[in-house]
Structure 1
Amino acid sequence: MVTIRYLSTDDKSLLVYEALSSRPRLDILDMLATRAMSVKEIAEALSFSSATVTIHIRKLEESGLIVCTHAPGKHGRQKLCRLAVESFQGGFRARTGNRRDALSCSIRIGHYTDYSVKPTCGLAMQSSFIGQLDDPRYFSDPQRFDADVLWFAEGYVEYRIPNYLLPGQRLTRIDISMELCSEAPGSNENWPSDISFELGGRQLGIWTCPGDFGDRRGLLNPDWWPDTNKTQYGLLKILSVTEDGSFIDGIKLSDTAIRDIQPLFGHDMPFRIAVRPDADNVGGLTLFGQGFGNYNQNIEVIFQVASP
């Protein structure tokens, strides 16, 4: 579960505000803060019909406040609901002087444009692993575009973030959210890894992930994904580059600020996630996308833009 979710005045945040503007939905969130519950259990606790609760659950799920999975029950399969967030932080975009806009994009895990990895390593899509495990050659396999999870012990993957800026516009902030963890043989929650981030060729900083999590099954993992001795989920982290520097979940990583990475018109921004061989903790990297781990998202990018 993500500890903090950033909210602003963009359309994605609007879904959250709409989901919260209902007493029954707030009651559901309070109940799920205690434990995961089925739709039937929630309906009985609220004295609502299952059909009514399903409508509320759909709204909460669309906003990203909860995640739902299907699990065996007493009378067949049941829909099990869990919280996906514990708290919020955020703010309003200043509008004095220049007009500010927000742009966004979603990058699938397999859509990297460059890589260099060492075993243990591999990729998987919703239906199966891609090629042979621990063979870096399959990171070039055409099927990798369908990958929604990847992992490696050392190296990097690099993505191209599209540059939607118009002439005269400038970036004022970038937020990049992703689910990730270390990569241990099997899994090991005490397996630190120094994961570094670069954007536009500039080093943003290093975050030390505490481990590779396999103590319980990931909420979204497909049925064929192994239950034991395999990474199950990661931590949802928000990497931000602002006018004051680079941060991860609000904790400063470096002084690299948004002015240092302003892209030229028509030029994309390379975004590299790496575990360097000279790091203090070479503990690998696992990246989760939609349908894997605990958060049903890809690498999500939000740009704050100022226009003349």
Structure 2
Amino acid sequence: MQIEVTTKNMTFLECFSSETRIQIIELLDAGPMNIKQLAERLLLSSAIVTKHIQKLENAGIVSCKSIAGRRGTQKICSLQLNQAVLQFKTRKQDVLANTISIPVGQYSAFDVKPACGMASRTQIIGLIDDPRYFADPQHVQANHLWFSSGFVEYRIPNFLNSNQKLRSLEISLEICSEASGCNETWPSDIHFYINDVPIGMWTCQGDFGKQKGAYTPDWHNCGTQYGVLKIITVNERGSYLDGIRIADVTSSDLGMAYGKDVSFRIASLEDAQNCGGINLFGKHFGSYNQDIEITMHYNN
């Protein structure tokens, strides 16, 4: 995410004027916590912590979910934002943006190997470890999917006009490895492609399931619970993951064409050094209540 340092973004920028809010971000970096837990760690009252959380939530930095507890409800807080780039200088030329969300189950192509499966918000779709069900029309309802090797590919609508040029493509998604049950030290080399162009690889360090995902349904009480939020950016300078350069591929190398959709493939290759599979999380699953978010920045 890019944030212009302007007065219109004061809600976001003011979040970093408080040492307490910075401490909250540090605590949530280790995993979701409720208000009481945060208050105990910070030696503050729950009322004060709640006010700080509200400010972070309004800025999109933290997300919260109310769940039933032993004594009423409790508010579970998680980091929603993984990275933000402050932009101090803005170009004079107008830069436009188009953002869409694609549910994780709305893939257009796949080739997966067991262990594999899909889950909607309410139930498992088809049979676990049977790749045939990835072709079931109900796959579009999936909010969580996993496979040990192979790929899923998504079609991104391209709404750019013939006189418009892509400046950058940003993709945000929650993802992790896929182990039997879960294994938080299970590395997986995950490869990303846009229009069949390899834009880089990231090694996830584990399949996370020791604690409940902030949004994972209660009925899904075993195995993988959540992933990590990663932001892929391809711009005029190269390809980046969370701001770290992963390839020399630029936006002009992607073969964007007027009237042609963009393909986005996520793969775990069988011949990779760490073929550790993939878990993908959408809304109502994991620790970030979002689908695959794509933003195209462009100008005329």
Fold agreement, TM-score > 0.5: yes
Give the structure 2 partner of residue 18 of structure 1. Answer: 11
Which residue does 2:91 correspond to in 1?
A: 95
**Residue 81, structure 1, aligned to residue 74, structure 2:** no
Which residue number corresponds to residue 279 of structure 1? 272
Q: How many Å separate the matches in 2 of 1:49 and 1:180?
A: 33
Measured after TM superposition, the shift of residue 70 of structure 1 is: 2.9
1:1-308 equivalences under 5 Å are 6-9=1-4, 17-18=10-11, 21=14, 30-31=23-24, 33-34=26-27, 36-38=33-35, 45=44, 60-61=56-57, 63-85=59-81, 88-91=84-87, 94-96=90-92, 98-226=93-221, 228=222, 230-307=223-300
Deviation at 1:72, TM superposition (A): 4.2
Q: 1:74 to 1:33 in 2, by over 3 A?
A: farther
What per-residue deviation string (whole Å, max 9, x for no partner) do you get for residues 158-188 of structure 1?
A: 0011111112101011111111011111111
Q: Is the 8 A contact 1:20 1:26 kept in 2?
A: no
Which residue matches 1:3? none
SS of the equivalent of 2:229 reads strand
> Measured at CA, do residues 296 and 34 of structure 1 come closer, stay the same or move farther in structure 2, by a change above 3 Å?
same
Secondary structure in 2 matching 1:216: coil
1:76: Cα distance to partner? 2.0
CA RMSD of aligned residues (A): 2.9
Q: Residue by residue, what CA displacement relative to the aligned partner does 1:15-45 show, whole Å, maximum 9, x if unpaired?
A: x742554799985664564473438987x95
Q: How far is the alpha carbon of 1:251 from its aligned partner?
A: 1.8
Gap change, CA 1:241 and 1:17, over 3 Å in 2: same
How many pairs does the alignment contain? 291
Partner-residue secondary structure (3-state), 1:305? strand
Q: SS of 1:8's equivalent?
A: strand
Q: Which moved more, 1:23-32 or 1:106-115?
A: 23-32
User: Does the CA-based 8 Å contact 1:39-1:81 persist in structure 2?
Assistant: no
Cα separation, partners in 2 of 1:109 and 1:158, compared to 1, 3 Å: same
Task: Return the letter of the residue paired with 1:220.
Answer: Y
Gaps of 5+ in 1: 1-5
Q: 1:62 to 1:136 in 2, by over 3 A?
A: farther
Paired AA for residue 199 in structure 2: L
**Deviation readout 1:49-68 (Å, 9 max, x if unpaired):** 99xx58x7566435432222
Counterpart-to-counterpart distance in 1, 2:209 and 2:54: 28
Per-residue Cα deviation, 1:82-136 (whole angstroms, up to 9, x for no partner): 444476433257424x432111111110110000000000000100110100001
Comparing 19-28 with 156-165, which one deviates more in the overlay? 19-28
Aligned amino acid, residue 64 of structure 2: C
Residue identity matched to 1:270: S
User: In 1, distance between residues paired with 2:89 and 2:264?
Assistant: 25
Could you tell me whether the CA contact under 8 Å between 2:36 and 2:46 is conserved in 1? no
- Relative to the length of structure 1, the TM-score reads 0.83
Counterpart of 2:163 in 1: which secondary structure? coil
Q: Deviations over 1:227-259 (max 9, x none)?
A: x4x011111111111112111112222111111
User: Partner of 2:253: helix, strand, or coil?
Assistant: helix
Q: 1:93 to 1:232 in 2, by over 3 A?
A: farther
